[in-house]
Amino acid sequence: MTVNKRNLLIAGAYVVILLLLIIKSEWGGYESPTLSYEQISPEFTVQTQSSYAETADIILISMTAAVEAGQQASVTVRGQPETQYNISVYYSAGKSQSKELVPKISDEFGNVSWQWRIGAGTKPGNYHLEVSHETQILKVYFNVIKTEPLA
Give the model confidence (pLDDT) of 115-141 as tens digits. Answer: 999 999 999 999 999 999 999 999 999
Read off the pLDDT band of 91 (50, 70, 90).
very high
143 sits in which H/E element: strand 136-145
Q: Are strands 136-145 and 66-68 parallel, antiparallel or unpaired?
A: parallel
Domain boundaries, the chain: 5-145
Give the model confidence (pLDDT) of 7-64 as tens digits. Answer: 555 656 555 554 444 443 333 443 333 333 333 334 444 444 333 334 458 999 999 9
CATH topology classification for 5-145: Immunoglobulin-like (2.60.40)
Eight-state DSSP code of residue 127: E
Q: Distance between CA 124 and CA 145 in Å, rounded? A: 5
